[in-house]
């Protein structure tokens, strides 16, 4: 099942990179100056994807506390 997640560009890039570290097939499919869409092509359960995304959001916040 494919999922699309729209985030600010920097956060989308971070999420796509982190998902790849977990061997989840994801890439940015659309992008504007400020926004980007991450598409997940892997066969992953929605709940698992939410957990990954939440934990990565927490990590992103710790690394980029100015955002």
Q: Which pLDDT tens digit goes with each residue over 7-48?
A: 999 999 999 998 998 899 999 999 999 999 999 998 888 898
Residue-level pLDDT at 67: 53
CB atoms within 10 A of CB 52: 18
Task: Give the residue numbers spanning the domain of 57.
Answer: 3-63
Number of domains in the chain: 1
Domain harbouring 12, CATH code: 3.30.70
pTM of the predicted model as reported, rounded to 2 decimal places: 0.81
């Amino acid at each position: 099942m494919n999922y699309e997640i729209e985030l600010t560009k920097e956060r989308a890039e971070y999420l796509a990179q982190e998902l790849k570290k977990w061997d989840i097939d994801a890439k940015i499919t659309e992008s504007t100056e400020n926004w980007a869409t991450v598409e997940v092509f892997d066969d992953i359960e929605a709940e698992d994807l939410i957990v990954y995304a939440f934990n990565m959001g927490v990590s992103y916040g710790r690394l980029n506390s100015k955002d």
